[in-house]
Every structure is written in C-alpha cells, then in structure tokens.
Chains A and B, each alone.
Chain A
Amino acid sequence: MEHAFLDKYSGIDSPIHRLDPRAKVLGTVFLVVICVTTPPTLWKAFAAFFALEITFIVLARLPWRHVLKRWMIVLPFIAAVALVVPFLSKGGGSYNLGPLHLHGRGLLTLWNVAAKSSVSVLAVVLLSSTTPFPDLLKALRKLRAPSLLINLLSFAYRYIFVLVDEAQRMLRARDSRGWNGRWLWQSRVIGNMIASLFLRSYERGERVYAAMMARGYDGEVRLIYELAFGVEEIAFLCLTVLVPLAARILANV
C-alpha cells in the first residue's frame, strides 16, 4: 500500500541537506519566533524573511511545486480570516469594494495572519524537506528535547503506516462480507473496529516493549550523532539569525 511521506525530498544532496540538522532546527525556530513577533507594518522585514527562505529553497534544489503544495495547507486558515475580518474589524480607514466595505485594520490583520503563517510554514517545509525525519529526531534529542516526546514521535513515525495498513485490511475484510454502512445499527461495526484496532495496537506495544527489553533496553535511549558544527553550520545560523534580526531592526528605523 502506498503512503505519503513527511520528509519527501529529504534525500537529495544539496548544501542545505548536508547541514547538521541541529543548525536547521535552531535556525527554523529562530526565524519563526522573530517573524511572529514582528509588527505587521514592518513590510520590509517580511520581505527579508521571504527572501531568505526563497534563497534556501533555491539552494536546497527543492521543486517549487512541492513547496507550494505544502504551503497550501495554510490557505484554509488565511481564507477563513479573509472572508470575515476585513469586513468586521472596523477602523483604520475603509475602502469600498462594490457594495462591501473593507476596513484598514481588518486588512492589516489579514496581512498579519497571511504573512506570518506563510513564513512559518515555509520554514517548516524547508526543515522537513531537507532533513530525513530520523535525523530530525536525533537532532532534537541532541538538543535535549524531552525524551518522552521524542520517543513518542519516533514510534509514531515507525508505526503510523503499520497501523494504517492494519486498518485498511480490516476495512477490506469488512467490505468483503457485504457491509454497506447504510443502516444505523451498522455504526456499531465501526465502534467495534476502532476497539479492535486499539487492542491490536496495545498488544503490539507490549510486544515491542518485550523486543526492546530483550536487547537490553533500560529506559535510556542512546544515540550516535555523527554530524558536527562546522563552517557551513555557523554560516547558516549567522544567516538565519542575523538577517531576520537586521531586517527587523532596520525596517523599524
């Protein structure tokens, strides 16, 4: 069975892909924090954020189609804001659009949401498309993210498709026996399936734990981390820290 992958294109070779994932994680977090705390009227700062991201996308040789497709997940949120806020949030002058009145403050809010969500999502798309997920987990571990959280992510990454496959097999088995889902009493079947899927996962969890114990697991996850900070990582971090900072300070002047 075919599945979509979180870290598509993370296997290609480029200067960005080769960077220590820790640098990319830190850079991403920094860019997002600076961006969301920037007042929306500092247009030039946002231009700089986008320019920086576009530079990295080009350097990483990521296909634009892929980047845009991933970026599109913010569209529903922007659309929800666009349909309501510019009409209702009064103040800051108003513009007529046929029979509708658009308000300046509402438009600013729309820009604020659109720009910040886009910068943030692009930053995360960049991170996930240039870093294989296992490397990302290792980097987070190395950066001392809570171990429990990383274990959870790691098992989720490993077993989500196993679980999806199991669910699909159950659906097939159900449909093969003439289920049509037309009657209310048949909804019980779905409840039973969810329960059965839960039990199977629970039992798998126990077996996985036994397999971990069998290989000497003692509650601590050890890891080998091969990459180190070099000139490239420092240069990358300088860019992702200094450019947004400078943009924000200079745009204010």
Chain B
Amino acid sequence: MHHRPAVEVKDLRYSYPDGTEALRGIDLVIEEGESVGIVGPNGAGKSTLLLHLNGILMGRGEVKIFGMPVIKANLRDIRRRVGLVFQDPDDQLFSPTVFDDVAFGPMNMGLSQQEVESAVKKALRQVGLEGFERRSAFHLSYGQKKRAAIATVLSMNPDLLVLDEPSSNLDPRARRELSELLQSLKITKVIVTHDLPFVFENCERVVVMSEGKVVADGDVFNILSDGKLLEKYGLELPYGYYPLPKETR
C-alpha cells in the first residue's frame, strides 16, 4: 500500500510580511496515530508551523496532509480533516451560543441539519459539555471554554487534531480533565506547548524547535531526560520533576 503519513513537511520556509523569518527549512513527518509534542522557546516558530498545517499560512516548501498537498484547491478537504484549536478559546468561540460554535464547522461542510445536530451532540458529549448548547461562551469557565473550543473541531470529525497551548492558564483539575479528554481521542495529535509534563503524559514523541528549525526529534523520554539538550534550547522541567521511562509507570 502507498505510504501516506498524516503530516509531511519538506523544507518549509516562511517569513512574516515584516521580514521576520519564522520558519527556516522545516522537515517533519508525523505518522497516522502518533501523538507528537512540539516544544521550544517563544519565537521558535511553533505556532507558525501549526498555521501551515491547514493552509491558514502558506510558505515556500511542501506540506502534505494525509498525502494531500496543502494548496488552495484542497483547502476545504484539508480543513475538515485537520482540527486546529487556537490558544485563546475566546478566539475560537465567536458565535452567540456554544451550539452555534460547535455547529459552525459541520455547517460549512454542508451537512444536513440532522447530521449537524448529531455531530454537535456527539462532540459536546466527548468533551463533557452536554447541556451547554444554549449557553453563551462568555458564561463558561476557562476550562469549559477550552473544552468547548476542542468540541468545535471534534464536530468536524477530524483525522488530525492540532492544539496550540492547550494546557495554558488551566487550573490543575481542568488540566487533568483535558489530559483525559485528549487520551480518549484516538486520532493523530500534534500539541504545541511549554508544558513539558503535559507532553510527557500525552505524547510518545517530541519535536524541539528553535529559531525556525527542528533541532531535536525523538522519543519523549529520551528528549525530556536529556538535561543538556533542554538547557541548550531554553527548556526546563519543573523543579523536582524527573521523568521515568514510560514502561515503569
């Protein structure tokens, strides 16, 4: 069978209009079913890379999603298959009610009313927000907003879930709930974050980015236990935290 990874990025380069070089030749392959954490200091280009995965930004180089090149003609299909969750849920939840927000994607996909309703119901159940349909996002707690934001892409039944800083600003319980939610979703996941323990818990593989390049890529334990590597790229584990090999946990 022809081999089609979930994400295939070749020599991707991108400069912002002001001339800042955000990506300086990224090569990255993510297989179907993998959970990959992308870490690195601020300004490393992590979020810029995410925005290339569904064609919000298009740089030089090649990006393929499930074998499909990210070009204008494929955007509709790609945006259905790639669920991109932005960092600030207030950006993701822009409709008057939670229902409208979760239904936004499926409606743009042209599903029938019945299909939209059942997709919304299913997505809200997955994130534990049944009964919140009529609420305004403004009245949700921050943790609920984060989960509602994830529901807005789950309703499109994506094959690849891309999350930008999912655990930021969450209290420990909301963070735990989010972790459990992510582990219950059996699809390919890409998580950009500064929260290394969160990566350790939710990903098997870590990609370290710095100054627009991939500088390390490998097994989550090997990378997170490499103190020198972490230090070199301005990363560190919380004080008193020592990762154990996954098998021993």
Q: Which residues does A use to contact B, with CB under 8 Å?
A: 132-134, 137, 154-155, 157-159, 161-162, 204, 207-208, 210-218, 222-224
Nearest-neighbor residue (CB-CB) of A133 within chain B: B96
Q: Are A134 and B96 in contact (CB under 8 A)?
A: yes
A132–B97 alpha-carbon span in the complex (Å)? 10
Cβ A204 vs Cβ B91 within 8 A? yes
Known A134-B100, A222-B107: A211·B91 in contact at CB below 8 Å: yes
Number of interface residues of B (CB under 8 A): 35
Structural contact, B113 and A208, CB atoms closer than 8 A: no
Dominant secondary structure at the B interface:
helix
B103 located at the interface, meaning its Cβ lies under 8 Å from any Cβ of chain A in the complex: yes
Which chain A residues lie closer than 8 Å to B152 at the CB level?
A: 215
A155-B94, A215-B108 given; name 4 further pairs at CB < 8 Å.
A158-B137, A210-B56, A215-B152, A223-B107
Q: B76-126: which residues lie under 8 A (CB-CB) from chain A? A: 76, 79-80, 82, 84, 86, 88, 90-97, 100, 103-105, 107-109, 113, 116-117
A222 to chain B, nearest CB (A): 4
Does the CB pair A210–B51 fall under 8 Å? yes
In the complex, per-residue mask of B48-78: 1 if CB is within 8 Å of any chain A CB, else 0: 0001001010000000000000000000100
- Residues of chain B within 8 A of A223, CB atoms compared: 107
Interface of chain A: mostly helix, strand, loop or mixed = helix
Report the bound CA distance from A215 to B84 in whole Å.
8
- The count of A-to-B residue pairs whose CB atoms sit within 8 angstroms is 76
Q: How far is the CA of A134 from the CA of B90 in the complex (A)?
A: 17
Task: Indicate if the CB atoms of A215 and B56 lie closer than 8 Å.
Answer: no
Residues of A within 8 A of B113 (CB): 224
B116 in contact with A158 (CB, 8 Å): no
CB-CB under 8 A from A158, the residues of chain B are: 93-96, 136-138
A215 and B104 within 8 A (CB): yes
Give me 17 A-to-B residue pairs in the complex whose CB atoms sit less than 8 angstroms apart, sorted by A's number.
A134-B95, A154-B96, A155-B94, A158-B96, A158-B138, A159-B94, A162-B138, A211-B86, A211-B91, A211-B92, A211-B94, A212-B94, A213-B79, A214-B79, A216-B76, A216-B80, A224-B113
Bound: A137/B105 CA distance, A: 19
Contacts of B76 in A (CB 8 A): 216
Q: In the complex the two chains form, what is the Cα distance from A155 to B101 in whole Å?
A: 12
* Nearest opposing residue in chain A for B57, CB measure: A210
Does any Cβ of A come within 8 Å of B153's Cβ? yes
CA distance A162 to B80 in the complex (A): 29
Q: Tell me how far the C-beta of B43 lies from the nearest C-beta in chain A, rounded to whole angstroms.
A: 17
**Known A-B contacts A133-B96, A207-B91, A211-B86; A222 and B108 likewise in contact (beta carbons under 8 Å):** yes
Complex contacts, A212 vs chain B, CB 8 Å: 94, 104
Given A215-B79, A215-B105, A217-B108, also A161-B138 (CB < 8 A): yes
